[in-house]
Amino acid sequence: MPTAEEIRELQGVDVAIRVTPEAGGEVVEGRMMGTLMAADGLIVFVEPRDKPGQRFSCHYHHIASIERK
């Protein structure tokens, strides 16, 4: 599982995120638009490549892996 700092470093970059099985296990590819530090941890926002103009968000502890595309 990536750290919050590793995730923050990818802001503005095209990424592929695999979420944990508990969060659905899907893979989302797109541009990481930003992050937000909430009371319960870092939230990641991605504009999915296949859904321009929409946003996918999840808490960082649900990210199993994240990589540059």
Per-residue model confidence as pLDDT tens digits over 27-61: 999 999 999 999 989 999 999 999 999 999 999 99
pTM of structure:
0.90
Give me the pLDDT at residue 17, please.
Answer: 97
**SS3 for 26?**
coil
Retrieve residue 11's tokens. Answer: 């802001």
Task: Give tens-digit pLDDT for 17-31.
Answer: 999 999 999 999 999
**Would you call 21 exposed, middle or buried from its count of C-beta atoms within 10 A (0-12, 13-18, 19+)?**
exposed
What domains are defined for the chain? 4-68 (2.30.30.100)
* 43 and 60 Cβ atoms separated by less than 8 Å: yes
Q: Residue 30 CB: number of other CB atoms within 10 A?
A: 21
Average pLDDT, the chain: 95
Question: Residue 1: which pLDDT band, with cuts at 50, 70 and 90?
Answer: confident
